Amino acid sequence: MSSETAAREGPVAAPRHRPARSVRLERILDVVIRSIVPVVLALVAGGVLLLALGRNPLTFYGNIWVGGVQGTAWQDSAIRMAPFLLIAAGLVLIFRANIWNLGYNGQFLLAAAFVAGYAPTLVTEVPLWLAFVTLFLLAGAVGAIWTLVPALLKARFGTNEIITTLMMSFIAIDLASILIKGPYHDATTPLPQTAVIPFEKMLPSIPGTRIHVGLLVAFAAILVVHYVLTRTAWGLRLQVMGANPRAARHFGIDLPRLIVVSFLASGFLVGLAAAADILGLWGYIRTGWNPAYGDTIIPFVFLARLNALAVVPFIAFFSVLSTGGDLAAQEASLPTDFLLVLVGLILLFMTVIEYLGRRRELGASYLPPGLRQALRAPLLRRRKAA
């Protein structure tokens, strides 16, 4: 209603290409409020909590800096980033399509089991570069194939993928255990684990650092996902499907195929994360090991508003927090689980901010959509100003 009048009185002349600066400013403000404020609030609240526990928050956060950034500590943080970024890339891609692949833990572990199972023999028998390429592709393929059942169910019957991916995830976690105890078991040890990849046959480091090249793969994946989403026809189709599946059908987009392909791509990227982590950091896998990287980074994927590039600083922040946090928690004689409290606080404040943004809409559901839109706008503006 508002825009109708505005448009009627507005210029008829040829439209220009760039939005007004105020629009861009508004978007930046929106990003600040929705993404950065929860993190800051969480750090402040965490500080208050530390004070209550009789610790000095400044010392604690200072130690995080020391342990996570200073000297060569930043390299440890960077190593942690590799699997995080790859999983984040896979999640951003499929979340943009409004599909919720929550089976990342299973996809990751199963791919990790396959990589750890074949790597020790493969790296000694074929040229190293070929072994790495093969193992990365193998991991990607395992992750992708594991999404196939939920993908086909959703494409064919519209089955809720949240449930199917979670179920498949549990199966994959147990299947990984079976593989580690069975065919991939290292015969030289009674422990339920795979053979260890010889140290010199692990992923090479980036020259001058201890960081393995898996991080470069991760950055490349982030860039590719961002490019695909922002520049390509396929990415546009994906986003149209995510924003409005009915419109996608109206536009003649082949939804079933798009659903399956985006699932496969997401699973593939999660699988790559497993390859990078096993080949670059651990060298073997043991039953019961489940780092649940995906669960850890999901809040940051949302804080980044499903923007692939924006994910990077958040993941970097969290990597520093978790690397330096070990030292800081030790110094303050707190359990390392205190870091989970900080992540929990971030989630809490995210929810609060999301709630404040939507609260006023709840009671308005009986209004016609045009009116609701008109009512919503000033509230959003007021909240931003506050």
Partner 1 sequence: MLKGITKAFPGVLANDHIDLTLRGGEVHCLLGENGAGKSTLIGILSGLIRPDEGTIRIEGVETSIASPRRALELGIGTVHQHSTLIPAFSVLENLMLGDNRRLRLDEDGARRRLEELAGQLGVEIDADAKAVDLALGHQQQVEIVKALWRGSRVLILDEPTSMLTPQGVAELAKVLERLKEHGQAVIFITHKLHEALSLGDEISILRQGRLVGTIAPEVMRATPQEELRAEIIRLMFGEDARAVVDVAELREELAEAEPEGRAREHEHADVVLELRGVSAFGEGSERGIEEVSLDLREGEILGIAGMDGNGQRALAEAIAGQRHATHGDVLLYGAPVTRLAVSARQKLGLRYVTDDRLGEGIVGMLPVGLNLFLKRVGESPYWRHGRIQRAIVDGRATELIREYDVRTPFVSTRVSTLSGGNIQKILLARELSFDPKVVVFHKPTYGLDVKTTAAVRDQILKLAEGGGAALVISTDLDELLEICDRIAVLSRGRLVGVVSSGPGAARQVGELMVGAETVEAA
Question: In the complex, which residues of this chain contact partner 1 (CB under 8 A)?
Answer: 1-8, 10-12, 14-20, 231-234, 236-237, 239-240, 243-244, 246-247, 249-254, 366-371, 373-375, 377-378, 381
Q: Cα 89 from chain centroid?
A: 6
DSSP letters for 291-337: --HHHHHHHHHHHTTT-HHHHHHHHHHHHHHHHHHHHHHHHTT--TT
- To partner 1, the closest distance from the beta carbon of 364 in angstroms equals 9
Torsion of CA 100, 103, 107, 113, to 10 degrees: 160
Task: Give the whole-angstrom CA distance, residue 224 versus residue 103.
Answer: 22
From the CB of 35, what's the least distance to partner 1, in Å?
Answer: 18
First to last CA, the chain: 26
Residue with Cβ nearer partner 1 (285 or 308): 308
Distance of closest approach, residue 347 Cβ to partner 1, in angstroms? 25
DSSP state of 365: T
Give the separation between CA 232 and CA 229, rounded to whole angstroms: 6
Nearer to partner 1, 72 or 244 (CB): 244
Task: Using the minimum distance from each CB to partner 1, give the nearer residue, 22 or 333.
Answer: 22
Select 183 or 378, whichever has its Cβ closest to partner 1. Answer: 378
Smallest gap from Cβ 306 to partner 1, in A, equals 12
* Cβ at position 230, least distance to partner 1 in Å: 9
Looking at this protein, which amino acid is placed at residue 373?
Q
Nearer to partner 1, 71 or 369 (CB): 369
Minimum Å gap between C-beta 219 and partner 1 is: 21
DSSP three-state, residue 385: helix
Contacts of 346 (CB under 8 A, 6+ apart): 38, 39, 42, 299, 303
Whole-number minimum distance, CB 308 to partner 1, in Å?
A: 17
Residue carrying the six token digits 């400044």: 58
Distance (Å, rounded) from C-alpha 214 to C-alpha 39?
Answer: 28
Residue with Cβ nearer partner 1 (232 or 330): 232
Dist CA 83 CA 297 (whole Å): 10
Q: For residues 172 and 240, which CB has a smaller minimum distance to partner 1 in the complex?
A: 240
